[in-house]
Amino acid sequence: MAISRMRAHHVLFGWINFALTAPAVYLWLGLPLVMRQQGWSGAEIGLFQLAGLPAVFKLFLALPIERWRSGHRPYLHWAWLTGGGYLLALLSLAALGADTHKGILFALTLLAALCATWADIPVNALAIRLFPPEERPRAGGVRAAATFAGAVVGGGAMLLVQQAFDWTTPFLFLGLCLVAALGLLGFVHEDEDVSCPRRSAPLAVWCGFFRQAGAGIWTVALLGYFPFVAAAWIYLKPLLLDRGFAATEVAWIAGVGGGALGALASFAAGLVPRARVLRALPLSAGANALALVLLAAAAGYGSQTWLVAAAAFLALAMGVASTFAFALMMEFARDGWRAADYGLQASLFTLGRILIAPPAGLLLDRLGYPGMLAALAVAALAFALLISARRRFGFPLVTPAPDSLGRSPRNARVELRATPTL
């Protein structure tokens, strides 16, 4: 019974993460095409992307969730409240048209981004609370796979739907997915949280996170483990276009194919036992650097076939990295401060991606695709070496003590958690 319930939880949280991701991807990767068709300038489309800034401020959005979560099923109520706001924003966008005043579209998109970012916090705080430690790598794999699936649907399928039907249909479909996810959350049993902490100042909460063993090196990893491959993924579509691929081929290669491979890699990485996640983390970081090296070589000297193969390897590396990143976010979320710690880590994760993309664009203009990708590969390799030296930085790798006969305990686990402190 417990196993079947855990599997149901994995499916449910995968679906809710998909339902939160797909509309956001459509708003930022799909709508720019529609806006261009409506005559928006490049500068206007670029400014429209600023509506995604709330994702950087999860650390602040998480604080009221921690402060006001007394009573029955608090995380669930926060998910319904913020998810409901997300749904209203999508329905409002559906009721309008592409020719609506740009300021109104921006305001509604900003509201959707705010609610989507906010809803992500209680949903994943609830997941951290419900999944036992040994299930967290699998939960990370399911979440990362759902994110890739949301990218395929939001960045590809919904564009096809919009072109075939009208402006309204994608928003209605995505809103229906969100309604189903929020409704299914009602079947999750959330016990009363006896670890609910006393109210503390935000600075004290954040300082408590950084006082955990290994939090320093993990913060560095959050800022540099994933953003370099993410930056390469941003510029992959222009690279493919410049190398002679048709726009439809780019959509299939980088959108559908890349998303599917990323999802499969995420599922596979989620099967790694919890005790081996830290051991696999340096290998994953090294795979990120290798993927960038291969893509740089293919961009400069390879054929189209080699370029597609390198893009596929990049998608696989991103899927594994996404899984391990979320699994370790769960480990570093202290009991009693799940939402706040997850929000802080998610903000650092997003900040790293935002900070890397502009310099990568400058390198592209000066050095071309091979030079930019080679520079990203060097930076990714530096972070891989840093992560592989984690013992020197106090990364929380603690092996259980041997028994009285000097033997290591059977089924020994790597203990990732530190004492929750403020």
CB neighbour class for 101 (10 Å; exposed up to 12, middle 13-18, buried from 19): exposed
The reply to whether 408 falls in a domain is no
Q: Are residues 175 and 220 in the same domain?
A: no
Task: Give the pLDDT score at 416.
Answer: 40
Q: Which of 196, 214, 237 lies at the terminal end of a domain, its last residue?
A: 196
The reply to whether 9 falls in a domain is yes
- Categorize the per-residue pLDDT at 160 as very low, low, confident or very high, splitting at 50, 70 and 90: confident
Q: Which of 196, 215, 230 lies at the terminal end of a domain, its last residue?
A: 196
Q: Are residues 30 and 165 in the same domain?
A: yes
The reply to whether 32 falls in a domain is yes
Q: Which of 171, 196, 221 lies at the terminal end of a domain, its last residue?
A: 196
pLDDT at 263 over 90: no
Q: Are residues 73 and 46 in the same domain?
A: yes
Q: Are residues 30 and 47 in the same domain?
A: yes
pTM as predicted: 0.75
The reply to whether 60 falls in a domain is yes
The reply to whether 406 falls in a domain is no
Q: What's the total number of domains in the chain?
A: 2
The reply to whether 405 falls in a domain is no
Q: Are residues 260 and 309 in the same domain?
A: yes
Q: Are residues 181 and 204 in the same domain?
A: no
- Categorize the per-residue pLDDT at 86 as very low, low, confident or very high, splitting at 50, 70 and 90: very high
Q: Are residues 187 and 221 in the same domain?
A: no
The reply to whether 14 falls in a domain is yes
Q: Are residues 103 and 78 in the same domain?
A: yes
**Whole domain around residue 176: which residue ranges?**
1-196
> Which range, 79-83, 219-223, 288-292, has the best average confidence (pLDDT)?
288-292
> pLDDT tens across 24-56, in order?
888 877 676 666 666 766 566 656 667 777 777
Tell me, what CATH number does 210's domain have?
1.20.1250.20
Q: Are residues 188 and 305 in the same domain?
A: no
> pLDDT tens across 51-80, in order?
777 777 787 787 787 776 655 677 788 888
